[in-house]
Amino acid sequence: VWKERMARMDQIHDALPHPVWTTALGKLLAILGVLFAVQFVAMAMGIATQLLKGYTDFDVTVWMRELLVLDMVTLGSMAVLALVVQAIVNNRFLGYFVVVALLLLNTFVWGPLKIQSLMLRFGATPGYVYSDMAGYGPWVSGLAWFTAYWLPVAGLLMLLAILVWVRGVDTSLAVRRLNTSLRFHGGLRTAALALVVAFVSVGGWVFYNTQVLNAYPATREVEAAAVAYETRYKEIYQDLVQPRIAHLAYEIDLVPGDRDLFARGRAVVVNPWDTPIDTLLVNTSRQVEMALEIPGATLAREDEETLLRFYALEPALAPGDSVIMSWTADYVTEGFENQVQVTQVVENGTFFNNGFITPSFGYEPSREMTSRNDRRKYGLPPRDRMPPLQKDCVEACMANYISDDADWVTMETVITTSADQIAVAPGSLVEESVDGDRRTFRYVLDHPSLAFNSFISAGYEVAREEWEGVDVEVYFHPEHTYNVEKMLRSIRRSLDYNQENFGPYRHGQARIIEFPRYATFAQAFPGTMPYSEAIGFIARIQDEEDIDMVFYVTAHEMAHQWWAHQVVGAAMEGATVLSETLAQYSAIMTMEREYGEEAIFKFLRYEMDNYLSSRGAETLKEKPLMRVDASQGYVHYRKGSVILYHLKEMLGEEVLNSALRDLVEDFAYAGPPYPTSHDLVDRIRAVTPDSLQSLVTDAFERIVLFD
């Protein structure tokens, strides 16, 4: 009876004197109204949850932009698609199936087909990340224009729904075709023409920006370049002797408002080998425009596909001789991209390392194809992991695992930015000036260090204090004060523990520097430690029973000022034991002094659980700690934490620390050959009684699980 009454109501409704578009538009507005209501409820629940958690500094405009604008672009597109499918299919349940099938295809079909353009993915807009420091940053233009691109598409789909809308009891295909032709006149025809013109106009602009002005290499081109790099050059050039960088000087001009960067670099390049060097292999970057000048060098060949250049030196660079290499590296933002490729240069929170603007020498294994499936597809052999661990090596230990083409370098930087920002580079600030709307900083590295450096610029507030002759500093977004004092305290405690046990700190400052949550890590450079807002500056740890991850991460990065930036391992298996595992140990011991044993046991349980769960996802082969590969973080971080703390418990803290102190005394800032995990284990064995030697074997040389 209900169905019969509803059918009669439909017939009465369809017989009324109203245009079809009012019905179709009414249904669309009803769907959108429901979606807006759901989003409003979600927003209210989110804000209420914040209030219940004691957080009152929320920004309603962020909620509105996310839920009522950006989310509604996607949801609105889905609503229009559902409406037009139902109008065409004219069967509720079949329509549901077709809509779901289309959405799944639109989500999953483009990746396997390697189609990257968002112009072909219905309703797609560039992926983005919101940051307190920089907002939507480099994604704003792309989000706006892709939204404008899909609006006329949605309008045309709505017109199609109106044209094919079923009205009356006769639903035969012939009648529907006739009704479609009869409806397409007057206002609908004019609207269709206007929407087509808008689609072509906006689409042309989007195409120009994303496919011409900011053309990006297709996935197949990137894969082909990786294959070409390996197949053309690995066998011939991977062992070719290349010079080392001894000094770096940078002049960097940042234009934050335009997202532009102009860098000039100069490097003193030395031949430390016994044989002359007549050929330079120089790797350049796809992300910046780079021009090089090397006295006495002629560009013999440039492989544009792999970005590798060959320079002939005449005369050859003699042993012990040096040459000064100069270059420029520019990144200029033009228009908007299909997907933002560079998030290092932004309006507030620029953060990049020297690899972004510096050419490198020699064959780089990091440019090889890494995916096992792709390697099989292209007929490549399994990719080499780190070179095998060697004992008492010389030739194989001449390069460290962080920087292939440099040992310990001196460095100076002149960096300019807008007058309202602070720019930071490694070293001591020796000069600062303001000229109009530009602000200039000059930094000089206090001690020769690894050629691994960062450059940062943002509108910072700075917390400063002096601790035992070291300037302790935290550069932070003005609204992110939650953990500044905790970071300062962690730096102080880290300086105390590591200097007391492993030797002096070699820089005049220890800086924590916040950068936008476009990346989510913390990293240690000489004297400077960039730290993402996502993992430290917007965390508020109130429960005293919780593990204090902010204090821990700061302590870990500070520990790297000894483990990696003083003692760095040779480029072979086990190298990360000398950096990451020992940094974990220093951080744990710093935490233990601050929070006590109970907190450390909780932390170690977390580490052990993480290790056990992660080893189940190993796709190649787990290696013992002594031979760990750089990619096996679950071993050198998680297992390493448990192992080193257990050794401390069994041997005694001072006994274990004496072995580590001996390692620092022998290898801190020492040139090649670099130490290996053998050097660490040998020193631990030397202080271990015979009754516990098997413990060292189990810890480092075997894979042993214990409670």
| Per-residue pLDDT, 442 | 98
| Per-residue pLDDT, 170 | 66
Strand 454-458's sheet: what is its strand order? 350-353, 454-458, 422-424
Among 448, 456, 420, 466, CA closest to 528: 456
Classify 267 as helix, strand or coil. strand
Q: What's the CA gap between 22 and 183, in Å, rounded?
A: 13
Among 359, 360, 358, 330, CA closest to 345: 330
Paired residues of 252 in beta bridges = 263, 415
Instruction: Write the CA distances from 60 to 48, 63, 318, 442, integer angstroms.
Output: 12, 5, 66, 40
Neighbours of 249 (CB within 10 A): 17
Pinpoint the alpha helices (H) of 636-696: 640-651, 653-667, 677-686, 693-696
Q: What's the CA gap between 667 and 579, in Å, rounded?
A: 13
Backbone angles phi, psi at 388, to 5 degrees: -65, 145
| Per-residue pLDDT, 5 | 60
| Per-residue pLDDT, 10 | 65
| Per-residue pLDDT, 619 | 85
Handedness of CA 107, 108, 112, 113 (dihedral sign): negative
| Per-residue pLDDT, 57 | 81
Among 207, 62, 78, 61, CA closest to 128: 62
Q: Which residue has the tokens 């206090």?
A: 446
Among 460, 482, 458, CA closest to 473: 460
Contact assessment for residue 62 and residue 7, using Cβ atoms and an 8 Å cutoff: no
> Which DSSP letter does residue 639 get?
I
Q: Are strands 509-515 and 470-476 parallel, antiparallel or unpaired?
A: parallel
| Per-residue pLDDT, 128 | 95
Contact assessment for residue 458 and residue 514, using Cβ atoms and an 8 Å cutoff: yes
The one-letter code for the residue type at 211 is Q
Paired residues of 423 in beta bridges = 457
CA count, 13 A, side-chain hemisphere, 141: 15
Classify residue 461 as exposed, middle or buried by CB count within 10 Å of its CB (0-12, 13-18, 19+): middle
Handedness of CA 569, 570, 574, 576 (dihedral sign): positive
Q: Which two tokens stand for residue 92?
A: 């509720």
Q: 3-state SS of 295-306? A: CCEEEEEEECCC
531-540 contacts, C-beta under 8 A, 24 or more apart: 531/487, 531/557, 533/131, 533/132, 533/133, 533/477, 533/480, 536/483, 536/487, 537/476, 537/477, 537/480, 537/482, 537/483, 538/132, 538/480, 538/482, 539/482, 539/483, 540/55, 540/482, 540/483
Q: Which two tokens stand for residue 207?
A: 């195409």
Q: What's the CA gap between 427 and 445, in Å, rounded?
A: 4
Among 344, 325, 191, 187, CA closest to 264: 325
Q: What's the CA gap between 154 and 160, in Å, rounded?
A: 10
Neighbours of 119 (CB within 10 A): 16
* Longest CA span, the chain: 100
Q: 3-state SS of 585-613? A: HHHHHHHHHHHCHHHHHHHHHHHHHHHHH
Among 424, 509, 528, CA closest to 468: 509
Which helix or strand (DSSP H or E) is residue 435 part of?
Answer: strand 428-435
Q: What's the CA gap between 162 and 80, in Å, rounded?
A: 11
Distant-in-sequence, close-in-space partners of 356: CB < 8 Å, separation ≥ 6: 285, 287, 288, 329, 344
Q: What's the CA gap between 202 and 195, in Å, rounded?
A: 10
| Per-residue pLDDT, 14 | 66
Contact assessment for residue 531 and residue 557, using Cβ atoms and an 8 Å cutoff: yes
First to last CA, the chain: 70
Q: Which two tokens stand for residue 638?
A: 């998680």
Q: What's the CA gap between 182 and 317, in Å, rounded?
A: 83
Q: Are strands 509-515 and 528-532 parallel, antiparallel or unpaired?
A: parallel
Q: Is this model's pTM higher than 0.75 or not?
A: yes
> Which DSSP letter does residue 67 get?
I
Pinpoint the alpha helices (H) of 407-514: 484-502
Q: Which residue has the tokens 């006769």?
A: 170
- Which residues of the chain carry a pLDDT beneath 50? none
| Per-residue pLDDT, 540 | 80
